[in-house]
Amino acid sequence: MSKQPLDLSTALAGFDAIWSPRIVANINDYDVRIAKVAGEHVWHVHRDTDEFFLVLDGELDIAVREEDGERVVTLPKGSLFVVPRGVFHKPSSKEGASIMVVEPSGTLSVGDEHDEVPGHVDVTTGHPL
């Protein structure tokens, strides 16, 4: 990681792949990842960690399965949401979005358990920027 400031707009302009996060920083044992997203991800769960989402541009929907059923959390630009550990969730974006995700280093983008992974979703622990 660089010891210089990082412009997120420039970093996002450096790749086109959707659902393929890039690691932009490390904080202790956590990765700060950015990603471009469009369409649907996959239902998945992180059994042992929360997942932090921040929308940098566009709008992100996160469907969550809770004890009383499913609901969708809509995050416009500048909004954040934390999916608690153990909660199945499915991010999506109809028009596309740029997001930041913070989670422990090595965490798979499709969690510990997931539905069948569609071809447009990169199963990764994050790529170097």
Task: For residues 105 and 32, give the distance between their C-alpha atoms in angstroms, rounded to a whole number.
Answer: 9
C-alpha distances out from residue 26 to 31, 56, 62, 95, 106, Å: 5, 18, 24, 29, 11
Task: For residues 97 and 69, give the distance between their C-alpha atoms in angstroms, rounded to a whole number.
Answer: 26
User: Within a 10 A sphere around the Cβ of 109, how many other Cβ atoms?
Assistant: 24
The dihedral sign for the CA sequence 24, 92, 53, 105: negative
For the chain, list the domains and their CATH numbers: 8-128 (2.60.120.10)
Tell me the pLDDT tens digit for each residue of 64-123.
999 999 999 999 999 999 999 999 999 999 999 999 999 999 999 999 999 999 999 999
pTM of the model: 0.94
Tell me the pLDDT tens digit for each residue of 9-51.
999 999 999 999 999 999 999 999 999 999 999 999 999 999 9
